[in-house]
């Protein structure tokens, strides 16, 4: 089931909110590849795109935290590094299937598939609700377009 962005996920900054919306749509299109049983090569491309944009987004958020002298900067930055590591770990079995790129998503063992889909679904939402949301009071004192 696709995950929809909702106002409750807003951290009072237009750039960050737009990033989160884009990440959610990337995750939704990733899941769609499984549903439509497209080639594993498409999954690899989608996970690469998700990883690249996650990097861009984390860097942006970290710049903002520094500019706002956010007290939990180190903790939050570490959480970002862990998320990237988790994403890489989850994508590893896909990369190892490089020799069978003609296979489709349905050919993947269920465990790999459930791990990936489950991880991506929770991955971003839990981080937004748990960590990013703590930036809201600080970001709320700035212009909605604050972009240091």
Residue count, binding to Fe ion (CB under 5 A): 2
Q: Among 27, 108, 132, 146, which residue interacts with Fe ion (rule: CB under 5 A)?
A: 132
We find the least distance from the C-beta atom of residue 58 to Fe ion, in angstroms, to be 6
Distance from the Cα of residue 109 to its chain's centroid: 23
Binders of Fe ion in range 22-81 (CB under 5 A):
61
| Nearest-10 Cα torsion for 124, 114, 46, 85 | 60
**For Fe ion, the closer CB: 94 or 132:** 132
**For Fe ion, the closer CB: 40 or 83:** 83
Contacts (Cβ under 8 Å, ≥6 apart) of 57 = 16, 19, 20, 22, 23
Residues of this chain that bind Fe ion (CB under 5 A): 61, 132
């Amino acid at each position: 089931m696709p995950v929809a962005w909702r106002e409750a996920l807003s951290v009072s900054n237009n750039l960050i909110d737009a990033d989160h919306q884009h990440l959610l749509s990337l995750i939704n299109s990733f899941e769609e590849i499984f549903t439509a049983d497209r080639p594993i090569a498409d999954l690899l491309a989608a996970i690469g795109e998700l990883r690249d944009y996650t990097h861009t987004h984390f860097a942006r958020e970290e710049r903002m935290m520094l500019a706002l002298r956010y007290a939990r900067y180190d903790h939050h930055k570490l959480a970002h590094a862990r998320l990237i590591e988790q994403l890489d770990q989850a994508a590893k079995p896909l990369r190892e299937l490089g020799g069978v790129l003609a296979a489709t998503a349905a050919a993947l063992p269920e465990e790999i598939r459930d791990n990936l889909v489950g991880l991506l679904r929770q991955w971003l939402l839990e981080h937004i609700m748990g960590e990013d949301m703590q930036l809201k009071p600080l970001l709320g004192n700035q212009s909605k377009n604050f972009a240091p």
